[in-house]
Amino acid sequence: MEKQAGPNIVLVILDGGSMDDWDDSLGSLEGIRFTQCYAQSEELTPSFCSFMTGWYPHVRGHRTPEYRLAPTEPFLLKQLTERGFATWWGGDNPVVDAEAESRVCTVRFRPEQTEAYAEVLVDGAVKFVEQAQNKPICICLTLRDEVELRTVIGRLTDAWKAAGEWDNTALFLFSARGRRSAAARVDGFTAAHVPLLIKYPSSCTAIPEEGQQVGALVELIDVYATIAELAGLPQRHTHFGRSLLPIIQGKAERHREQVFCEGGCLVTEPHAGGKLARGKSVMLRTAEWKFIKRLNEQTELYDLSIDPKELVNLADDPQYESVRKKLLNLLAIRYMETIDVVPYEPVMHKLEGRL
């Protein structure tokens, strides 16, 4: 297969899952595991909208299953297609309207609903890899769970190796949202914690060996920034992801000091669920603390260093007032930094060559 220079990109995205699920399913799969990765929403569509744009859900109000990305909003697959990638997208679509699918990728693969759904998806992806020529390739495979995940990854890996492109391929394997255990608190953002595994192309000199774990705090929106850097995407919108390449290449020891997840809606938003849904809330997590602020509901604060199961809420304890105020201030700063974005157009032509 003759191909232009540039890494191939493979995204395998699961609806839900945990690190324990993956340890059972993947064993010693080649790649670097990020053990402290957090989704920006526990809901599927808002999470997809976030890591496909580098935006937090609040930036454009993507907080409900019905509110998908508009044609004028950025979308990673579309940007890769415009960059010259041959893009194949198979599986469910929780992120753009159906009529927009054909405009955001080279091939939108929609198999019939069968018992071998995952197998049919992989067949389509492998065929695309075998036939594509002269372009870097992006495969985006959205799976419903971790069933047969080892087989799915194994077949994709074999296809890339047969094409002589495995060393030039970056694999991103992650869950759009985590899974609550039966013992977990119902509404404590426990499903924000998601598994993330990244296999880098040989052009990236990674300090951790393949199979090692990295415990730095990262967010799923960092997947967008990392792919944008690998693919050389031109900067055409303000986003808040941070590329993971520096931490993998040993240029940085830490990545983020805090991670965030959002959920719920206002009672005055009947179109978003209103009184039927949980109230609007946000989680801020550091290496030591977990802070949850809710509108008109109880605030939560946990010292993760001594209470990893989050059993003792310290929010109303006077001894921890300074901690609570510090975290609330960090939350306010984060909202100020990310509350909205100014479109690059119509002044984009004035910025050419300066970005």
CATH 3.40.1160.10 fits 8-248, yes or no: no
Tokens 């040989």 sit on residue: 202
Helix extents (H) in 148-266: 149-162, 221-231, 245-248
Tell me which CATH code domain 268-338 carries.
3.30.1120
Q: Is the pLDDT of residue 313 over 70?
A: yes
Spatial separation of the C-alpha atoms in residues 181 and 191, rounded to whole Å: 9
Task: State residue 187's pLDDT score.
Answer: 66
Task: State residue 56's pLDDT score.
Answer: 97
Mean pLDDT of 158-179: 93
Mean pLDDT of 53-74: 94
With bands split at pLDDT 50, 70 and 90, how would you rate the model's confidence at 114? confident
pTM of the model as a whole: 0.92
pLDDT digits (tens, 9 = 90+) for 194-237: 999 999 898 887 777 666 889 999 999 999 999 999 999 999 99
Domain borders along the chain are 8-248, 268-338
Task: State residue 1's pLDDT score.
Answer: 44
With bands split at pLDDT 50, 70 and 90, how would you rate the model's confidence at 113? confident
Percent of the chain with pLDDT over 90: 65
Q: Is the pLDDT of residue 349 over 70?
A: no
CB neighbour list of residue 57: distance below 8 Å, 6 or more residues apart: 40, 41, 46, 49, 50, 63, 262
Task: State residue 53's pLDDT score.
Answer: 98
Least confident of 3-7, 266-270, 347-351: 347-351
Task: State residue 320's pLDDT score.
Answer: 98
Spatial separation of the C-alpha atoms in residues 347 and 273, rounded to whole Å: 37
Reply yes or no: is the peptide bond before residue 94 cis, omega within 30 of 0.
no
Task: State residue 185's pLDDT score.
Answer: 56
Mean pLDDT of 27-55: 91
Spatial separation of the C-alpha atoms in residues 52 and 54, rounded to whole Å: 6
Mean pLDDT, rounded, of the chain:
88
Q: What would the DSSP string read from start to end of 310-349?
A: --S--TT-GGGHHHHHHHHHHHHHHHHHHS-----TTSHH
Mean pLDDT of 111-140: 89
Task: State residue 250's pLDDT score.
Answer: 80
User: How far apart are the two ends of the chain, measured CA to CA in Å?
Assistant: 34
In Å, how far from its chain's centre is CA 349? 30
Q: How far is CA 91 from CA 118, 144, 226, in A?
A: 8, 8, 23
What are the residues facing 174 on neighbouring strands? 13, 196
Percent of the chain with pLDDT over 70: 87
Count CB-CB contacts under 10 A for residue 254.
10
